[in-house]
Every structure is written in C-alpha cells, then in structure tokens.
Amino acid sequence: PWKSVRDVEWETLKWVEWYNSRRLLGPIGYIPPAEAEEAFYANLKSLDMVA
C-alpha cells in the first residue's frame, strides 16, 4: 500500500514509462515501442537518401 500521494505519483510515472518504452507489442514485431519508433524514423531517413 502507498503511504502518500507522492508514492502513487511515482508508481504511476514508472508504469507510464514502462507502457511507453519497454512493453512488447505483437503488431510491431514484439519489440518495445521506443525501438519501433527509432526504426521507423531511421527508415524514413534512408528513404529520403534513396529519393
């Protein structure tokens, strides 16, 4: 159990960081969203170079 509002805020921030950065998602190949975003933008840059 959390003892203060600060504890609840800290745990919420940790969960949001996990949700946005480290969870694995099937539709994007079971990689974390942060890795998928990085690969997406790297792919855009390589497509710009080709064009």
Q: In the predicted model, is pLDDT for residue 49 greater than 70?
A: no
CA atoms within 13 A on the CB side of 32: 10
User: Mutual orientation of helices 5-21 and 33-50 as an angle, nearest 10°?
Assistant: 40
Residues 22/32, Cβ–Cβ less than 8 Å: yes
Reported as a pLDDT band with limits 50, 70 and 90, residue 2 is: confident
Q: What is the pLDDT of residues 13-42, one digit of tens each?
A: 999 999 888 888 888 889 998 899 999 998
Count CB neighbours of 8 within 10 A. 11
Entry pTM: 0.61
